[in-house]
Amino acid sequence: LTLCAVLLVTASVLGTMAFLTSTASVENTFTVGSVKITLDEARVDASGVAVTPAERVAENSYKLMPGHTYTKDPTIHVDAASEDCFIRAKVTLTNAKEWIAIATKYADNKVENIIQGTNDDIWWVSQPAVDTANNTVTYTFVYKNESHTDELGKRIWTKADGTDLVLFDKIVMPGNLTNDELKGVGNSTITVVAEAIQADGFETEAAAWAAFDAQQ
């Protein structure tokens, strides 16, 4: 009987016991950052005149004539939601030997005086890189929007506010070209490749582009 009484008391005590509790939680939401650019140019007719209504396209064809100016405005569009990024563009011209000969004779030895309208306040343009085996010449445009300086005091650049960045806006053919010179640059192409890489995580712009090139 004593044992039963103890068990009953114990059961009664456990049955009325209460616990003090508290619960807290933290919820983390992750979104994916992105770097996004697009590239296009104004649609033009064979004479290089912009068509109406205005339209942006990925390519155009031109009929070259001496003394003529052609609209060509390759433009990089940075998405407004893009992360800060480094931006560059590579402009490659075929029939390089023939273009360089024309530039040497008529345009102060610079192909850049034929492909005109680059804003030096926006772009730093490399020296031409000539590939003699493929007869091409390439210029690299690096965007200059100053963000901060690295440990060596060199300027590095970022861009992520939705602005449109025009590389150049026209091609101006010298007026006294000969027929043979025109034929030499016939069937030429200008290829523009725009590139961007996130700025975050890189100490310098050079390091960012080294990483970009390594994964291509």
pLDDT tens, 162-202?
688 999 999 999 999 999 999 999 999 999 999 999 888 88
Asked, as a colleague might, if the bond just before 53 is cis with ω within 30 of 0, I would say: yes
**pLDDT tens digit string along 96-111?**
999 999 999 999 999 9
With residue 106 as reference, give the H or E element that holds it.
helix 96-106
For position 109, what pLDDT does the model report? 92
Instruction: Determine the average pLDDT of the residues in 2-21.
Output: 58
pTM of structure: 0.81
User: What letter would DSSP give residue 181?
Assistant: H
Long-range contacts of 18-25 (CB under 8 A, 24+ apart): none
Is the pLDDT at 2 greater than 60? The verdict is no
